[in-house]
Amino acid sequence: MAGSALKLLSHRVTTVTLGPATRYDAGVLTVSATDARRALAHAAIAECRVSWASPGDSARIVKVLDTVEPRTKAPGGGGIFPGFLGSATSQGHGETHVLSGVAVIAAGYLPRAQEAVIDMSGPGAALTPFGSTHNLVVEFTPAEGAPWENVDAAVRLGVLKLSALIAEAALGAPPDDVVGLPAIPHTRASGLPRIGAITNLQTQGTFKDVFVRGKSFGAASPILIDPNELHDGAIVSGQFGHPALKNPTYMHQNHPVVAELRRRDGKDLEFAGLILAPEPVEVEQKERVAAQAAALCAAAGFQGVVITKEGGGNADADISLKIDALVDFGIGSVGLFAEMAGAEGTAPSLVVPPERGTALISTGNYDEVVRLPAVARALGGATVDVAGAAATAEMELPTAVLYCSLSPLGAGRLTCREAA
């Protein structure tokens, strides 16, 4: 698979604050609320507010939508988030600046968005990747009469602009870490198994959609993509269902399976490439996509594949059908599933298991209840409706509501074990 080298220059953020000008200096990131308002300015948005929530804070972020890691390639973005900020050309080469330890989080009401919660301290914080990042929370008030679809699009674009703008503050600073990501060669003679990945994207209409190079991936066929493109924001999420089982933009920028295959490339495997596949709603379409993705794996010379999903029960089929389809090509695969085993962990774990494969990894049980303590401050909304509680109150929630806690891309350390 062809591609070109990308250099990631990371700037570690240790302290965050709001101030008159957006700047980055020796780990201290200051964000200007005026800059944020400018980034979010849009006919569909009446007003926007920004605030920080940091690890250890007695704070809860509710109604979480998308999450983005601040990145830029040059002043004005320089091609980051292609199709949104830059032209829809393939990126993934040159240099990309990353503000690490920071996430920009949109929070607020959108139709079809399911309640999603991030706690910054206590037992909930350990279960979400965003309990350990400094989070710039963007709240918004829609313009009167603006269609919700426009509000959604405006918030998405605004948060991407803001993320690039913040990252630009570090362009002149010396990086804390530099990582070279070479292009993936077509063939090698290492004798190591050639392992690829299939990343299913939940593309099921407005508010449950994922964008590739700026365009909805809903009607697409599976594609082979240079994994380096993900670092530059080729995948942007507009998917607000199943909070624990969602893959926000941040997770695609830091794709855990891609990172693992990169880390082991040349050691015990050859990283053979990445395939993106949509998750349609109709069974026939799921079967068609599975067959196409399996054929693409064979054409790309994969010997083994890690398959991931996004979303709830129906998305189990999008993994299982591919595991089964790959058997015909003699290609082994493993699927990452969240278990839907009921609050007591005794229900069947999967909705649609594979028929011809058994290599399944568990990212934890979606239904197990977690008790969250009361917090001093809530961002994103005043209530958590699924708990029937004020957003700051003590509450019991199924793990399903904790944002990215069962990360289908494999970011988390949760799994399920039989109780003794």
Partner 1 sequence: MSRVVHYLNQFFAGFGGENAASTPPGVKPGAIGPGKKLQELFGTDHEIVATVYCGDDLAAASPEAVATILDLVAQQRPDIVLAGPASTSGRYGVACARVAAGAARAGIAAVASMHPDNPGLDDAGAAVVIASGASVRDMGTSLERLARAARKRLAGESLTEADGRIGRIPRRNVLVDRNAAGRAVDLLLARLRGEDAPAEVPIPRFDHVTPAPPVADAGKATIALVTESGLVPVGNPGRLESARATRWLRYSIEGKATAAAGEYASVHGGYSTVWANQDPNRLLPLDVARELEREGAIGVLHGEYLVTTGNGTTVPNARRFGVEWAAELRRAGISAAILTAT
**Stretch 271-310 residues interacting with partner 1 (CB under 8 A):** 281, 303-306
The yes or no reply on residue 419 touching partner 1 (CB under 8 A) is yes
- Cα distance between residue 287 and residue 322, in whole Å: 8
Q: Is 63 in the site for partner 1 (CB under 8 A)?
A: no
Shortest Å distance, C-beta 226 to partner 1: 19
Q: Is 203 in the site for partner 1 (CB under 8 A)?
A: no
274/118 Cα distance (integer angstroms): 30
Q: Is residue 269 a contact point for partner 1 (CB under 8 A)?
A: yes
Q: Which helix (H) or strand (E) holds 201?
A: strand 194-202
**Which phi-psi region, left, alpha or beta, contains residue 163 (left: φ > 0; alpha: ψ -120 to 50)?**
alpha
Segment lying near partner 1 (by CB under 8 A), choices 56-64, 210-218, 228-236, 261-269: 261-269
Which residues in 228-257 contact partner 1 (CB under 8 A)? 241-242, 256-257
**Residues in contact with partner 1, total (CB under 8 A)?**
75
User: Residue 311: how many CA atoms within 13 Å on its side-chain side?
Assistant: 27
The whole-angstrom separation of Cα 327 and Cα 139 is 47
122 touches partner 1 (CB under 8 A): no
- Decide: is 89 part of the binding site for partner 1 (CB under 8 A): no
- When asked if residue 41 is in the footprint of partner 1 (CB under 8 A), the reply is no
Q: Count CB-CB contacts under 10 A for residue 136.
A: 24
* Shortest separation between residue 43's beta carbon and partner 1, angstroms: 22
Nearer to partner 1, 47 or 344 (CB): 344
The stretch near partner 1 (CB under 8 A) out of 152-160, 161-169, 212-220, 329-337 is: 329-337
Using the rule CB under 8 A, give the single segment among 42-50, 70-78, 174-182, 399-407 that binds partner 1.
399-407
The residue written with tokens 């059908």 in the block is: 321
CA atoms within 13 A on the CB side of 11: 26
Please answer whether residues 167 and 22 qualify as being in contact, where contact means their C-beta atoms are separated by less than 8 angstroms.
no
Return the residue of 193, 215, 328, 374 that touches partner 1, per CB under 8 A.
Answer: 193
Q: Which of 153, 276, 282 is nearest to 220 (CA)?
A: 276
Q: HSE, CB side, 13 Å, CA atoms: give it for residue 285.
A: 15
Asked if 341 touches partner 1 (CB under 8 A), the answer is: yes
Q: Which stretch binds partner 1 (CB under 8 A): 69-77, 182-190, 226-234, 395-403?
A: 395-403
In 3D, which of 26, 5, 30 has the Cα closest to residue 96? Answer: 5
User: What is the rounded distance in angstroms from the CA atom of residue 36 to the CA atom of residue 56?
Assistant: 24
Are 66 and 159 contacting, i.e. CB atoms less than 8 angstroms apart? yes
Contact between 361 and partner 1 by CB under 8 A: the answer reads yes
Closer by beta carbon to partner 1, 24 or else 366: 366
Is residue 262 a contact point for partner 1 (CB under 8 A)?
Answer: no
Report the alpha-carbon distance of residue 187 to residue 148 in Å, rounded: 47
Amino acid letter, 344: E
Query: At closest approach, how far in Å is the CB of 419 from partner 1?
Result: 5
Q: Contact with partner 1 (CB under 8 A): which of 208, 246, 252, 286?
A: 208
CB of 253 to partner 1, least distance (A): 15
- Contact stretch for partner 1 (CB under 8 A) within 36-44, 64-72, 78-86, 407-415: 407-415
Out of 54, 90, 100, 206, which residue is the one contacting partner 1 (CB under 8 A)? 206
